[in-house]
Amino acid sequence: MIDPRIYETFREIGEDLYAADMISSHGGNLSIRLGDRVIIKRRGAMLGRLKPHDLIETRLDKNDSGVVLASTELLVHRAIYLNTPALAVCHCHPRTAVAFSLSRDEIVPIDNEASYLLKKIPVVTEEFASGTPQMANKVAEAVKNYKIIMLRGHGSFATGQTLDEAFMWSTILEEACQIILAAKTINEPFKEYRAMSEAYSKF
């Protein structure tokens, strides 16, 4: 039985992700690590309308009965937990960020908050689809060094100690990308307000 407090957090953040246009009806995923176990969305469940039975608990290191029900993306979530200190993962499809990932190898925010908190977001490419070991390893390697990364043309993976934290990085990324887009539309020269911002790409 999954603790109702844990369900409540999943439900709230799932709802918020959908309301914020960061996922499609059945897209995206959330998980947390509880000791040697993972709690993740059930295969095919809608993140914006999670019911208590939509959460699956399974082992971190190998398969058990939970695994057949778990999301196909379990593999990448597991790889992240096994290779990084993360205790929560938020995977979503922030639209503007996905659009930028098509042309850039890294996204360097220009707004204050994201500059502060993220500095830059690397973009990784993986031709194998969602749920393959190749993709899992690539993503896990990238989030070893960054709070949030983009998988080109697909979406973002953010990690944190709690789901709230991982969700926060995701919204900050999308906000940063929308601001870059808006600034491009305005198309006027920047007045730089951040000292040493040229070094962000080295972060």
Binding site for other proteins (CB under 8 A): 3, 5-6, 32-36, 83-85, 87, 116, 119, 143-147, 160-162, 164-165, 195-196, 199, 202-203
Work out how close the CB of 33 gets to other proteins at its nearest, in angstroms, rounded to a whole number. 5
Work out how close the CB of 26 gets to other proteins at its nearest, in angstroms, rounded to a whole number. 27
By C-beta, is 105 or 164 nearer to other proteins? 164
Q: 111: closest CA among 63, 46, 180?
A: 180
- Cβ within 8 Å of residue 35, ≥6 positions away: none
By C-beta, is 27 or 84 nearer to other proteins? 84
Is residue 141 within 8 A of residue 151, CB to CB? The reply is no
CA distance 189 to 169: 28
Work out how close the CB of 202 gets to other proteins at its nearest, in angstroms, rounded to a whole number. 6
* Cα torsion 175, 107, 201, 171: sign: positive
Work out how close the CB of 3 gets to other proteins at its nearest, in angstroms, rounded to a whole number. 6
By C-beta, is 102 or 105 nearer to other proteins? 105
Strands of the sheet containing 88-92, edge to edge, are 55-59, 37-41, 29-34, 88-92, 155-160, 148-151, 121-124, 106-107
Work out how close the CB of 22 gets to other proteins at its nearest, in angstroms, rounded to a whole number. 19
CA distance 47 to 44: 9
By C-beta, is 46 or 143 nearer to other proteins? 143
By C-beta, is 84 or 171 nearer to other proteins? 84
The residue count for the chain: 203
Q: Retrieve residue 97's tokens.
A: 């960020």
By C-beta, is 78 or 93 nearer to other proteins? 78
Work out how close the CB of 197 gets to other proteins at its nearest, in angstroms, rounded to a whole number. 10
- Cβ within 8 Å of residue 36, ≥6 positions away: 59, 60, 61
